[in-house]
Amino acid sequence: MSVVVIGLGNVLLSDEGLGVRAVELLEQRYILPESVEVIDGGTSAMDLLNPLSNNDHVIIADSVKTGAAPCTLVRLADEQVPKFFQTKISPHQIGLSDLLALLTVQGQAPKKITIIGMVPESFATHIGLTEGVSAKMDEMVELLVDELRSLGIAVKPRQDGAQGFWAEAEQ
């Protein structure tokens, strides 16, 4: 089974970069098998054309606006994913929805997509997450781990699992 975990977002806009920070923490804290590729997707969805092609499962970590309170964690899967793209709840979502449409036309779309997201507190120009989002990052990483384990993927904690560069730099 081929699985890709992609963190999306702009780390220069505070909580908009939470997806990127989540996958960084995932890699720093856990040992993942070679069948799992982790990608910092940034904000340029079209650069993800080849990495997304022909995968069994794609897990996207991203900031999402759902109308829920800031810092609320969200899991979207199956029929919820197309609805996600219709409601435009992530700032860079348009590029990603176009990319997935292109992959579908080419017959190379992922078989399954799951979105693990969090409602942001701020998109202010600032390097680093807000206090509320930072406090929920451990829980978001655990949702990513749970998703991988639900696919039968062995995820093992690292003995030297760090808090992550950005979290440590802010202390």
Given a contact cutoff of 8 angstroms between Cβ atoms, the answer to whether 17 and 122 are in contact is no
92 is in an annotated binding site: yes
CA distance 136 to 21: 12
In 3-state terms, what secondary structure has residue 98?
helix
Computed on alpha carbons and rounded to an integer, the radius of gyration of the chain in Å comes to: 15
Q: Which long-range contacts (CB under 8 A, 24 or more apart) does 83-86 make?
A: 84/115
Contacts of 103 (CB under 8 A, 6+ apart): 49, 52, 53, 109, 110
- Binding-site residue set: 16, 62, 92
- Binding-site residue set for Ni(2+): 16, 62, 92
